[in-house]
Amino acid sequence: MIAALMPNYNRADLAFERGEGAWLWTADGRRFLDFGAGIATSSLGHGHPGLTRAIAEQAARVMHVSNLYRVPQAEKLAQRLVDTTFADSVFFCNSGAEANEGMVKMMRKTMSETGRGERYRFICFEGAFHGRTLGMLAATGNAKYLKGFGPECAGFDHVPFNNLNAVRAAITAETAGIIIEPIQGEGGIRPAQLQFLRDLRATCDEYGLLLGLDEIQCGVGRTGKLFAHQWAGITPDVMSVAKGIGGGFPLGAVLATEAVARHMQPGTHGTTFGGNPLACAAGNAVLDVILEPGFLDGVARKGQRLWDALGAVVREFPDVFEELRGAGLMLGLKCRVPAGDVNNALMAEGMLAVTAGENVVRLVPPLVISEDDIGQGLDMVRRAARRCQPSASKVAAK
């Protein structure tokens, strides 16, 4: 008989009862160091006092009122995002896919309202992941995810990542814009070259296209800057955000310049839950921590320490690992043995990680992780690597 919970996930047989910082405990008392952070989402770790207090206090006061009324918590969160980014205006929603849907609608609406309604197509990239709605399945373009779900939504063209010639060759009279993750997450922690991002910005300006960034996974401090595109010194026209911004509470956002946002007049787009007082209280509590002076430098410093130490691990275990990639606390170990085996070995050593495309194991710990926990994590990675060495059984037999 089928389980009451639908079988659409491949779940590890672990159920966590509580967490603190970067650690999670199962009901039977086993402890795990969380280098997956709920897929790069629990940015403040588990049980963060500021975040849990903000949610509890807001829940007791008022959780939801709808967007028929003003929501001061949303106004405050939007203003803080406007003050700290390229954006002039912010739309709130509940998930990453919903943020991307909003971003695509805004880009199309902008074209339509500026006399270019025939421009509705987007250039996307091989290896991308933009979510699981019907629209975002097409933007993702992964045949495995599309299979069985009927006709693919029209309007998304895919070209190889980091290939400017391919992008330029794909531009037609119907192209509205380019949508890219500055660092592909699900695709295997594949960073866009900084010069490629600059070239995309220049190409969009040259052709009058809009640049849309999906920073759902790489944004909100993950790379050591508030948003990953800042490393390239460019700004997008519109950007989707989710995962880390709620610290585990469902919250998504679309950030846009005025030139885009001004077309989203009353009635053009909406969502019932989006930007409610509870979700925005969580978002504000996350920003309280991430915008604290020195916090992002700390993320960059911890990322550099992991980068140096994991690079040494890759060199020490060349039969297990091929390459280290990523930025800040968004790192990927490309494996020579199956990434699932490495992930299982990490779990056996007490560490939670996440696999990704291209046979990569993702290490995306909470941004608040301590130096001591990083040290323990590195020991776990080394021990897991030893377990995965193809010659391990022979060595043990000697």
Ligand X SMILES: *Cc1c(COP(=O)(O)O)cnc(C)c1O
Task: Work out which of 167, 200, 216, 285 binds ligand X, going by CB under 6 A.
Answer: 216
Q: Cα–Cα distances in Å, from 39 out to 98, 244, 248, 259, 325?
A: 17, 9, 10, 33, 17
Task: Work out which of 185, 191, 212, 365 binds ligand X, going by CB under 6 A.
Answer: 185
Least distance from ligand X to the Cβ atom of residue 97, Å: 3
The length of the chain is 398
* Distance, CA of 281 to CA of 214 (rounded, Å): 23
- Per CB under 6 A, does 95 bind ligand X? yes
- Per CB under 6 A, does 34 bind ligand X? no
Least distance from ligand X to the Cβ atom of residue 240, Å: 7
Which residues does residue 335 pair with via DSSP β-bridges, in sequence order? 321
* Distance, CA of 352 to CA of 32 (rounded, Å): 6
* Distance, CA of 106 to CA of 238 (rounded, Å): 8
- Per CB under 6 A, does 97 bind ligand X? yes
Least distance from ligand X to the Cβ atom of residue 39, Å: 6
Least distance from ligand X to the Cβ atom of residue 95, Å: 4
Q: Which is nearer to ligand X, 175 or 184 (CB)?
A: 184
* Distance, CA of 212 to CA of 230 (rounded, Å): 14
**Which residue shows structure tokens 């660092």?**
183
Size of the site for ligand X (CB under 6 A): 15
Task: Work out which of 23, 35, 129, 249 binds ligand X, going by CB under 6 A.
Answer: 129
Q: Which is nearer to ligand X, 23 or 240 (CB)?
A: 240
- Per CB under 6 A, does 23 bind ligand X? no
Position with the least CB separation from ligand X: 96
- Per CB under 6 A, does 190 bind ligand X? no
Least distance from ligand X to the Cβ atom of residue 195, Å: 21
Span near ligand X by CB under 6 A; candidates 22-30, 209-217, 222-230, 371-379:
209-217
* Distance, CA of 307 to CA of 313 (rounded, Å): 10
* x/- track of binding to ligand X for residues 52-91 (CB under 6 A): ----------------------------------------
Segment 234 to 293, residues that bind ligand X, using CB under 6 A? 242-243
Is there a contact between 93 and 316 (Cβ–Cβ < 8 Å)? no
Is there a contact between 389 and 65 (Cβ–Cβ < 8 Å)? no
Least distance from ligand X to the Cβ atom of residue 245, Å: 11
Q: Which is nearer to ligand X, 43 or 95 (CB)?
A: 95
Span near ligand X by CB under 6 A; candidates 93-101, 280-288, 350-358, 377-385:
93-101
The residue type of 164 is L
Least distance from ligand X to the Cβ atom of residue 364, Å: 10
Least distance from ligand X to the Cβ atom of residue 70, Å: 26
135 closest CA partner among 8, 262, 240: 240
Q: Cα–Cα distances in Å, from 247 out to 229, 322, 369?
A: 21, 32, 13
Q: Where are the beta strands (DSSP E) in 215-329?
A: 238-241, 252-256, 321-327
The 10 Å Cβ neighbour count of residue 296 is: 20
- Per CB under 6 A, does 96 bind ligand X? yes
Q: Which is nearer to ligand X, 234 or 345 (CB)?
A: 234
Span near ligand X by CB under 6 A; candidates 69-77, 128-136, 192-200, 360-368:
128-136
Q: Where are the beta strands (DSSP E) in the chain?
A: 16-20, 23-26, 31-34, 89-93, 121-125, 156-159, 175-180, 183-184, 190-191, 210-214, 238-241, 252-256, 321-327, 330-335, 351-352, 354-356, 360-363
* Distance, CA of 64 to CA of 228 (rounded, Å): 32
Task: Work out which of 131, 135, 212, 328 binds ligand X, going by CB under 6 A.
Answer: 131
Is there a contact between 215 and 83 (Cβ–Cβ < 8 Å)? no
Task: Work out which of 162, 217, 223, 355 binds ligand X, going by CB under 6 A.
Answer: 217
Pairing of β 190-191 and β 252-256: unpaired
- Per CB under 6 A, does 124 bind ligand X? no
Site residues, ligand X (CB under 6 A): 95-97, 100, 129-131, 181, 185-186, 214, 216-217, 242-243
